[in-house]
């Protein structure tokens, strides 16, 4: 569900001719969105090694976007995969989510890398479903070695125009869903005395944004969750880190509603990329591709990162350079 978005819809919302500038000035730190590999990952990752043979990874929101790209990167390294995804539209989410056909296609893509893949149709708000998926991983593969906490939704608009359902949906999926994923995973990881967790946060987990207020609040919160989990699990040889992407080209961003709001003069993906490339990003790129984020996930799941925990890693085309810390 990392490719999920809600937006407050209210015909009384005032027109705002500065909306494009306001949104773009924020850096568009929506972690489900876009462009080219920037080389933030160590060069040793350029050629994928199968150093995860025999290991297992669970990815929430795994049917498409960053979740699927992360799963494929880990599968290329030899990991067996559990794809957990709601694979259905949800109340309070105002654009199409992944479907069961997406989940089936994702499974085929993973298995093409010569590994096994389990799919689990479930909602991250359901702790029981997550615990069951973890149990299936242990039952079939014998271990759970890495968890990618990726499921999430967003919205665009001024905070007063969102319905209670829209606000609660974002909080429940992005924050509560992340907490419940960690709750389901840590007993197994603690018992194993090994493993890792990667939480997909956002650039907006390190700065505010008037148009993505609820989303930003949840991403600040999951960074706190990542750091707290790192402190709790370090003594058990379990790592936890957060990744903060800016715009990544997924269905969350590449849809008529978002493009119309962000790039009204040219409401196409190409139009949005041009605005990002020539106005905001320190590096002259438009956006990232899901595979770019997947390679960072793959690094944090590798043995090379076994001594790294509690870190917040930006994939932002240089936008983190604007932060004060």
pLDDT of residue 268: 83
Active-site choice (215, 257, 288, 299)? 215
Please give the share of the chain, as a percent, with pLDDT higher than 90: 64
**Confidence class for position 273, pLDDT limits 50, 70, 90:** confident
- Under a CB-based contact definition with an 8 Å cutoff, are residues 293 and 245 in contact? yes
Q: Does residue 4 form part of some domain? A: no
321 falls in which pLDDT band (50, 70, 90)?
Answer: confident
Q: Which helix (H) or strand (E) holds 134?
A: helix 127-141
- The string of pLDDT tens digits covering residues 101-127 is 999 999 999 999 999 999 999 999 999
CATH number of the domain within which 166 lies: 3.40.50.720
In a domain, residue 5? The reply is no
Does 224 map to a domain? yes
Specify the pLDDT at position 143: 97
User: What pLDDT does 28 receive?
Assistant: 45
Axis crossing angle, helix 100-111 with helix 65-76, rounded to the nearest 10: 20
Summarize the confidence of residues 74-79 as an average pLDDT: 98
Segment 29-50 shows an average pLDDT of 46
CA 125, 257, 22 angle in degrees (round to 5)?
95
Per DSSP, the three-state class of 11 is coil
Instruction: Report the distance separating Cα 264 and Cα 246, nearest Å.
Output: 20
Instruction: List pLDDT tens digits, range 291-308.
Output: 999 999 999 999 999 999
Q: How far apart are the first and last CA of the chain?
A: 30
Is 215 tagged catalytic? yes
pLDDT mean over 231-255:
90
**Residue 126: inside a domain:** yes
Of the candidates 125, 168, 174, which has an alpha carbon nearest to the alpha carbon of residue 152?
A: 174
Q: What is the pLDDT of residues 126-174, one digit of tens each?
A: 999 999 999 999 999 999 999 999 999 988 888 999 999 999 999 999 9
The answer, as to whether pTM is greater than 0.75, is yes
Count of structural domains, the chain: 1
For residues 236 and 210, the model is more confident at 236
Report if residue 254 sits inside a domain: yes
| Whether residue 272 has pLDDT greater than 80 | no
Range of the domain at 285: 17-318
In terms of Cα–Cα distance, which of 165, 176, 243 is closest to 203?
Answer: 243
Does the residue 277 lie in any domain? yes
């Amino acid at each position: 569900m990392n490719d999920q978005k809600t937006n407050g819809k209210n015909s009384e919302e005032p027109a705002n001719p500065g909306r494009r500038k306001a949104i773009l000035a924020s850096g568009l730190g929506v972690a489900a969105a876009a462009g080219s590999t920037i080389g933030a990952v160590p060069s040793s990752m350029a050629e994928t090694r199968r150093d995860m043979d025999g290991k297992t990874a669970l990815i929430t929101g795994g049917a498409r976007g960053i979740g699927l790209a992360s799963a494929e990167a880990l599968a290329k390294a030899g990991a067996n995969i559990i794809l957990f995804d709601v694979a259905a539209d949800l109340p309070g989410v105002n654009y199409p989510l992944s479907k069961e056909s997406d989940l089936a296609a994702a499974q085929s893509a993973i298995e093409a890398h010569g590994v096994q893949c389990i799919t689990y149709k479930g909602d991250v708000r359901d702790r029981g479903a997550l615990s069951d998926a973890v149990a299936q991983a242990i039952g079939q593969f014998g271990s759970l070695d890495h968890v990618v906490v990726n499921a999430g939704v967003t919205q665009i608009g001024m905070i007063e125009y969102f319905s209670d359902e829209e606000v609660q949906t974002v909080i429940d999926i992005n924050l509560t869903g992340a907490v419940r994923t960690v709750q389901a995973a840590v007993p197994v990881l603690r018992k194993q005395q090994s493993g890792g967790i990667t939480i997909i946060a956002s650039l907006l987990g390190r700065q505010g944004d008037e148009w993505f207020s609820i989303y930003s609040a949840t991403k600040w919160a999951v960074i706190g969750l990542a750091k707290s989990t790192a402190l709790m699990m370090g003594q058990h040889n379990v790592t936890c880190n957060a990744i903060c992407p800016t715009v990544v080209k997924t269905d969350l961003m590449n849809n008529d509603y978002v493009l119309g709001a962000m790039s009204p003069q040219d409401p196409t993906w190409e139009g949005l990329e041009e605005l990002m490339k020539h106005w905001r990003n320190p590096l002259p790129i438009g956006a990232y591709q899901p595979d770019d984020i997947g390679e960072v996930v793959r690094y944090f799941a590798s043995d090379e990162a076994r001594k790294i925990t509690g870190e917040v890693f930006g994939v932002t085309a240089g936008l983190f350079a604007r932060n004060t810390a």
